[in-house]
Amino acid sequence: MEKIKKSRGIIAIIVSALLVGALALFNQTSTQQNKNFHGAILPHHLLVQNYIDQFYEKLAKENPETENILIVSPNHIGYGLNYMQTTNNFDTFPLAIQPILDTTKIQQLLDKTTLHLESKSFEKEHGIFLHLKYLKKYFPDAKLIPIILKIGTPQDRMDRLIETLFDTLPAGTLIIASIDFTHYENEEIAVKNDERTINWLKELKTIPPKTIRLDKIKKLSASTKQTNPDSVAFDSPESMYVMLKLLEKTKNLDFTLFQRTSTLSLTKLKNPLENTSHIFGEFN
């Protein structure tokens, strides 16, 4: 009889532990499913720094409680050894623009993905450092995770990163894709490219779940008409993919356009090789 009582006691403890574990898993899953992220697309072109400032001001007013920011940028020149890179310091930049880096979450990403620490690359990557003063100005207390991605980063590595980011980032995180749009084309082609991209972004809220694909984004990043071998409709399909897949998970794909500009539309320049277009927009 004593053995039976002990057995029942052990079974009760096991069942209780299983129930607690199941409840914790349910709560975690429920919390993840109810996450909301905010998204933003901004250029990294100094020509439109006034618009960048205005858009950051708008984002800060709309999201005053933002405590966490992820910024994803192309690795323009292919600096460093690895496809996916981050940093845990901006010590080479002036103190006045140094953001608060979320070194704890950065380390978690380094431990669980093929993201690598290559701080030297960030000294030269304008897709990140151009934004630092605006992040410091409008989100001075937010913690930042910066990531740069090389062209051709394998999808399986990005998918692993996306899953880990989703598990790591808290609700309310602002996800910024630092992307410039049409390069090295005349304004007529640039407008066609950008209108196609904007229309596609606006349609995302209506597409079935889990249908955002890297191959589709890469196809969209090619110019509608290529008069120059280096022309593109946007410069980082990888950054676009990471941001959109995270927003897809939280169903925050409602896109609102803030501004569309270009070098040729803002200046007296005429040479298509000097043209870069810019799309500013946000997702909620």
pLDDT over 90 at 17, yes or no: no
| pLDDT tens-place string over residues 169-203 | 999 999 999 999 999 999 999 999 999 999 999 99
Could you tell me if 130 and 58 lie in one domain?
yes
Could you tell me if 25 and 46 lie in one domain?
no
| Confidence band of 15 (pLDDT split at 50, 70, 90) | very low
| Confidence band of 27 (pLDDT split at 50, 70, 90) | very low
Could you tell me if 89 and 168 lie in one domain?
yes
Could you tell me if 96 and 22 lie in one domain?
no
What is the CATH classification number for the domain harbouring 194?
3.40.830.10
pLDDT over 50 at 48, yes or no: yes
| Confidence band of 20 (pLDDT split at 50, 70, 90) | very low
Could you tell me if 141 and 185 lie in one domain?
yes
| pLDDT tens-place string over residues 146-165 | 999 999 999 999 999 999 99
* pTM, two decimal places: 0.88
Alpha-carbon gap, residue 212 to 245, rounded angstroms = 7
User: Residue 96: which domain range?
Assistant: 36-283
| pLDDT tens-place string over residues 107-129 | 999 999 999 999 999 999 999 99
Interval 1-12 mean pLDDT: 54
Could you tell me if 130 and 254 lie in one domain?
yes
Could you tell me if 120 and 2 lie in one domain?
no
How many structural domains are present in the chain?
Answer: 2
Q: Return the closest-CA partner of residue 189 out of 251, 60, 276.
A: 276
Could you tell me if 131 and 179 lie in one domain?
yes
b/e per residue, 80-96, with b = 16+ CB within 10 A? bebbbbbbeebeebeee
Could you tell me if 17 and 154 lie in one domain?
no
Alpha-carbon gap, residue 248 to 212, rounded angstroms = 8
**Contact partners, residue 38, CB within 8 Å, separation at least 6:** 59, 63, 66, 172, 173, 174, 175, 252, 282, 283, 284
Could you tell me if 86 and 122 lie in one domain?
yes
Could you tell me if 72 and 8 lie in one domain?
no
Alpha-carbon gap, residue 112 to 114, rounded angstroms = 7
Could you tell me if 5 and 120 lie in one domain?
no
